[in-house]
Amino acid sequence: MKNKPLIFTGIGIFLLLILAYFGGSKYYDSRFLPNTTMGDTELSGVTVAEAKRVVTQELHANTVTVTEDGETVTTFTPFDLDAKVDSDAFLTKVKDEQNSWAWPLAFFNKYEVETSEVNVQFDEDALAKLVETLTLSKPDRVAPISANVQSKDGAFVIEPEVPGTIIDTERLKEQLVQTVLSSEETLTLEDAYVLPALTAESDELTQVVEKLQSLADVTITYTLMGEEIVVPKDQIATWLSLDNNGEPTVS
């Protein structure tokens, strides 16, 4: 008889846990589970409609700083580009994939929502104007110079490429959009420069050097008035060059 209060207490606690479990399942049936995040945005316990508002607010609150040569060129916000988030279908899909009956386990497992499927639309005119402004931010931009093969002291070496400062407008546009989508705070214009067609690491140039060197290593001997004369390798190297197709040719 002395154990009856303990039994009733245990039953009471068990019933409370059952009610709490079913109540939690009902609550999270229309809300994101605990520990749900989308980038730096917390979505735990909010509905799809609330999540869309939060995502939009977080998007527009981000300020992006554009730099070049370590100096700030300009700053902008997604609001300046009239960014609109079309995430209803995506967020609904994510919510439907979550199991509300498993809500207690969610406190111990982080659920990160992938942002790659979020559809953000920008005003194309505003985006194009920003790209043009950044392109014209430096008046004396120069084109890159590709790496090339040079003859030096009878050997062929690769002359390294020279980076330019001309901006690839399409790549810059893509980077501007990606910076906004990933909620990053800085964008460096150097990352959008037009790249040299060939770099010092290009396999094409390495193969050209090997071909030219194999030709230059040929031993040429001729006889003049009974005397054998060996053509110096550095002289042979001056006879070799590249044609318009980048193939070795002998003058």
Q: What stretch of H or E contains 38?
A: strand 36-38
Judge whether 144 and 196 are in contact, CB under 8 Å. yes
Tokens 């140039």: give the residue. Answer: 205
Residue pair 136/188 in contact by the 8 Å Cβ criterion = no
Mean pLDDT per 10-residue section of the chain, whose length is 251 residues: 59 73 84 86 88 82 92 93 82 87 87 75 93 92 88 76 94 91 89 91 79 65 69 63 61 65
* Residue 137 amino acid letter: S
Chain centroid, CA 102 distance in Å: 35
Burial classification of residue 251, based on how many CB atoms lie within 10 Å of its CB (0-12 exposed, 13-18 middle, 19 or more buried): exposed
Give the other-Cβ count within 10 Å of 68's Cβ.
19
Whole-structure pTM over 0.85, yes or no?
no
All residues at 6 or more sequence positions from 236 whose CB lies less than 8 Å from its CB, including other chains: 154, 215, 216, 218, 220
Give residue 1's pLDDT.
47
Q: For residue 50, what are the CA distances in angstroms to 95, 159, 181, 185? A: 12, 58, 19, 24
Contact in structure between 51 and 43 (CB atoms under 8 Å): yes
Q: Which of 115, 42, 26 is nearest to 34 (CA)?
A: 42
Amino acid, single-letter form, for residue 155: A
pLDDT of residue 232: 61
Cβ proximity of 40 and 114 under 8 Å = no
Answer whether 166's CB lies under 8 Å from 134's CB: no
Q: How much is the pLDDT for 173? A: 94
Q: Residue holding tokens 């060059």?
A: 241
